[in-house]
Amino acid sequence: MKIIKRNGTEVAFDIEKIISAVRKANNEVSETNRLTEEQIGEIAQNVAANAGDLNRAVNVEEIQDLVENQIMEHRAYAVARKYITYRYNRSLVRQSNTTDAQILTLIECNNELVKQENSNKNPTVNSVQRDYMAGEVSKDLTRRLLLPQDIVEAHDEGLIHFHDADYFAQHMHNCDLVNLEDMLQNGTVISGTFIEKPHSFSTACNIATQIIAQVASNQYGGQSISLTHLAPFVEISRQKIRSEVAEELAGVEVDEATVHRIAEKRLKEEIKKGIQTIQYQVVTLLTTNGQAPFVTVFMYLGEARSERERDDLAMIIEETLNQRIQGVKNESGVWVTPAFPKLIYVLEENNVREGTKYWYLTELAARCTAKRMVPDYISEKKMLEFKVDKNGEGHCYTCMGCRSFLTPYLDENGKPKYYGRFNQGVVTINLVDVALSSKGDMDEFWKIFDERLALCYRALMARHNRLVGTLSDAAPILWQYGALARLKKGEKIDKLLYGGYSTISLGYAGLYECVKYMTGKSHTDAEAKPFALAVMQHMNDQCKAWKAKENIDFSLYGTPLESTTYKFAKCLQKRFGIIPGVTDKNYITNSYHVHVTEQIDAFTKLKFESEFQQLSPGGAISYVEVPNMQDNIPAVLAVMQYIYDNIMYAELNTKSDYCQICGYDGEIKIVEEDGKLLWECPHCHNRDQNKMNVARRTCGYIGTQYWNQGRTQEIRDRVLHL
């Protein structure tokens, strides 16, 4: 069994330390109030057993809580008081400086908590360490100075989660849809240098990657770009290349068809090089956050403005899919699955069925998904139903990163606007804690629910107010040079924070466990489903009321918990103990999802979850877990067609691994040893994470840097839906 110390380091459990601590407290009381040596040994053994039952690494505070409980059970109240007093005095000493120990262990790569915080950050790299160091300082300032104490305490206890506190000290927002069209067509400024409209497709791709890097360094969430914004530059390159070919062949008798054939061949080579630039630049870039940009590439034929532009866009999409199928080479020279960029492919009437014009792209997308887990799929049909503006018109557009969706918005001219908009931040409510705190009493549940939602509202307003008054100079690429706006120097961004231009998100987690505790059934059960939908509707109603009050676009968001799923689970176990089917895992379920262990087929799951997506306007994604489908592309296509007809946004999860020791390219397994989950090659039993490539989708994005113990257990527990 492992113990996580306060500074984040992981050490082996040592029962003698418990015995020693209890003895010290025992020796400070009168002889008549003392425990016997046998009782002290029994206390230590019980603590060890209780900690072992949690089936995960426990932290020092949890061990000390167990020790207190055991002393009290032995009715040694005087000893318990001495032990509690000692803990309190030590905590006062630690409060004199809350960041030093965390930072020092971080630098020495001994901090297990930080190592597992983000599955796309390598904590041994200097740039990542610098970001984490800054994050520790920001969290300290946030906790002590910037947030009300009751919100800090609610966050610590796992009642809510105040996301991205490591960036809160700065005036930074969450995620956005980059207005790449504006920046490319009208020019932009990068690092003080004016960049004019590109004169070729390849140059446009190069500039796009620079924009992506700059945007990522000035926010903390995901960003999305559309390939449609690159499509006009295909025609510019086409005309340029045709002129070059004509000049080269001057004086030579060739027909127009030959000139066209040569020019189109060269054009396709330029498209190939341009897409390579985007893929390799994104994968190899390190932003100021110490990671590759969390960027999503949107592929939607319906955005094209003409038939020619749509065909050019189709060429770009085809090349993007082909290059992702190939993958990128790891340090051993083997083609593996990259985490970024994330790809989203829109299923629409002209590509979703055999015989339609762009069916070949959909077949290619299916092969790509089977091999590399992307693209994910948006149904134009369902999105036009779900995303309806105040005029009653539906719209199809990309999410901001992995699942955060903007709400429909019309500009001052009554035209729909999505690119250039953003999300202000997220606070998540732990629905499981609401249920457990109510002790199963329905009246008490709704009362506590409203109290927690009021807490979330105040925390969200803290996020909003942190952005109010921010000057455009804080991030010129965002606010002055077109990524999000064209504000003047010295102008405040405030007008972009109100009226629906940007959103702010109420996240939620653990709907399954909440419903399970309150009804005794999964929310997939017909008897329990109405309660689940009522919970969702209640949160939507609250967002609507807050929006009316503040003129801020509050929106309900299906939180993609990564490390927080483990934090919430530990907090629940500490507050309520182990409750079968509710707190007996080291994770809770993301948003509205069907529990990962529930036996359900892919089509039933997608159909069921589609109702909850409609009630998650601020963001949602569903998935089905599938085996290796590379030899069964028709089955992948069948799922994709079902997505088109039944659910707005979904993905297929498979595996894509490689062992650098023996060359095994099947599934790397998760094994358990001494209470800890480890990744192991089933062929050569390699457990060195630095010598294997593991890719899993955990939060919409693919992760490649491994996960904490809670999320790893969730990955292990997943059942196949197909």
- What are 210-234's pLDDT values in tens digits? 999 999 989 999 999 999 999 999 9
CB 395 within 8 A of CB 607: no
State the average pLDDT over residues 551-572.
93
3-state SS of 28-72 is CCCHHHCCCHHHHHHHHHHHHHHHHHCCCCEEHHHHHHHHHHHHH
Rounded CA separation 187/181 (Å): 10
Given a contact cutoff of 8 angstroms between Cβ atoms, the answer to whether 598 and 524 are in contact is yes
What are the residues whose beta carbons fall under 8 Å from the beta carbon of 666, sequence distance 6 or more? Answer: 657, 682, 683
Question: How high is the mean pLDDT of the chain?
Answer: 91
**Residue 33 tokens, joined:** 């109030």
Q: Which of 300, 377, 481, 557 is catalytic?
A: 557
Say yes or no to pLDDT of 120 above 60: no
Q: What is the pLDDT of residues 434-480, one digit of tens each?
A: 999 999 999 999 999 999 999 999 999 999 999 999 999 999 999 99
Tell me if residue 225 falls in helix, strand or coil: strand
For 122-131, what is the mean pLDDT? 66
Q: How many residues does the chain have?
A: 722
Structure-model confidence comparison of residues 32 and 123, the more confident one: 32
pLDDT of residue 291: 67
Say whether 628 is catalytic.
Answer: no
User: Of these residues, 383, 402, 571, 681, which one is catalytic?
Assistant: 402
State whether residue 112 is helix, strand or coil.
helix
- Quick: pLDDT tens for 38-80: 999 999 999 999 888 887 778 888 888 899 999 989 988 889 8
Is 662 one of the annotated active-site residues of the chain? Answer: no
Q: How far apart are CA 190 and CA 173, in angstroms?
A: 20
Half-sphere exposure of 524 (CA within 13 A, CB side): 15
pLDDT the model gives residue 147: 96
Cα distances (angstroms) measured from residue 59 to each of 426, 467, 483, 525: 27, 35, 43, 37
pLDDT band at 546, cuts 50/70/90? very high
What is the C-alpha to C-alpha distance for residues 168 and 176, in angstroms, rounded to an integer?
Answer: 17
Residue 111 above 80 pLDDT?
Answer: no
Report, as an integer, the average pLDDT of 661-677.
92
Query: Confidence class of residue 113 from pLDDT cuts 50, 70 and 90?
Result: low
pLDDT at 345: 98
Predicted confidence at residue 703, as pLDDT, reads 82
Q: Identify the pLDDT of residue 236.
A: 98
Q: Is the pLDDT of residue 245 over 70?
A: yes
Structural tokens at position 135: 């994050």
Q: Rounded to the nearest 10 degrees, what angle do helices 256-284 and 232-248 cross at?
A: 130
For 36, the 3-state DSSP assignment is coil
Per-residue DSSP letter, 667:
P
So what's the architecture of 176-386 in CATH? Alpha-Beta Barrel (3.20)
- Is 591:558 a contact under the CB 8 Å cutoff? yes
* Residue 475, CA distances (Å) to 174, 221, 479, 484, 608 in order: 13, 15, 6, 10, 42
Q: How far apart are CA 638 and CA 670, in angstroms?
A: 30
Closest CA to 424 of 511, 333, 319, 497: 497
73: Cβ contacts below 8 Å, ≥ 6 apart: none
pLDDT tens-digit map of 331-349 = 889 999 888 899 999 999 9
Mean pLDDT calculated for residue range 311-319: 98
Is residue 253 part of the annotated active site? The answer reads: no
Weakest-pLDDT range from 123-132, 324-333, 654-663: 123-132
Query: Which is catalytic among the residues 136, 380, 513, 562?
Result: 562
Q: Of 183, 396, 400, 456, which is the active-site residue?
A: 400
Q: What does the pLDDT read at residue 44?
A: 93
Query: Two tokens at 372?
Result: 């590399």
Residue 555's SS3 state is strand
Structure tokens at 173: 């927002």
The arithmetic mean of pLDDT across residues 408-436, rounded, is 97
Q: How far is the CA of 569 from the CAs of 153, 590, 664, in angstroms?
A: 17, 12, 34
With 80 as the cut, is the pLDDT of residue 117 above it? no
Contact of 235 with 308, CB cutoff 8 Å: yes
pLDDT value, residue 1 = 77
To the nearest whole percent, how much of the chain has pLDDT over 70?
A: 93
Q: How far apart are CA 246 and CA 190, in angstroms?
A: 36
Which pLDDT value is given to residue 491? Answer: 98
Q: Would you say 397 and 406 are in contact if contact means Cβ atoms under 8 Å apart?
A: yes
Is residue 347 a contact partner of residue 377, using CB atoms and an 8 Å limit?
yes
In the block, residue with structure tokens 């790893």: 712
Our answer to whether residue 50 is catalytic in this structure is no
Q: Is 174 in the active site?
A: yes
pLDDT of the residue at 102: 63
Name the active-site residue from 700, 701, 708, 714.
Answer: 700
Please name every residue paired with 625 in a beta bridge, in sequence order, or none if there are none.
653
Rounded-to-integer distance, Cα 143 and Cα 150, Å: 10
pLDDT given at position 103: 59
* Per-residue pLDDT reduced to its tens digit, 354-396: 999 999 999 999 999 999 999 999 999 999 999 999 999 999 9
Answer whether residue 115 shows pLDDT above 60: no
* Every domain of the chain and the residues it spans: 1-96, 176-386, 422-589
pLDDT band at residue 101, thresholds of 50, 70 and 90? Answer: low
Q: From the candidates 55, 118, 138, 174, give the one annotated as an active-site residue.
A: 174
The angle at the Cα of 57, spanning 55 to 61, to the nearest 5 degrees, equals 115
pLDDT at 310: 98
pLDDT tens per residue across span 676-717: 899 999 999 999 998 999 999 887 778 887 888 888 999 999
Q: Active site includes 402? A: yes
Is residue 400 flagged as an active site residue? yes
What tens digit of pLDDT does each residue of 147-199 get?
999 999 999 999 999 999 989 999 999 999 999 999 999 999 998 999 999 99
Backbone angles phi, psi at 49, to 5 degrees: -65, -45
pLDDT higher than 70, residue 126: no
38-47, 88-97, 360-369, 606-615, range with the lowest pLDDT: 88-97
Of residues 87 and 268, more confidently modeled: 268
Rounded-to-integer distance, Cα 641 and Cα 359, Å: 11
Cα 400 from Cα 185, distance rounded (Å): 22
pLDDT score at 104? 62
Which range of 97-106, 164-173, 498-507, 563-572 scores highest in mean pLDDT? It is 498-507
- The mean pLDDT value for 124-148 works out to 78
Nearest to 115 by CA among 707, 702, 710, 672: 707
- Point out which residues pair with 423 in neighbouring strands: 503
Active-site option among 111, 117, 175, 508: 175
pLDDT, residue 292, reads 76
> pLDDT class for 31, splitting at 50, 70, 90?
confident
Say which of 404, 437, 591, 616 is annotated catalytic: 404
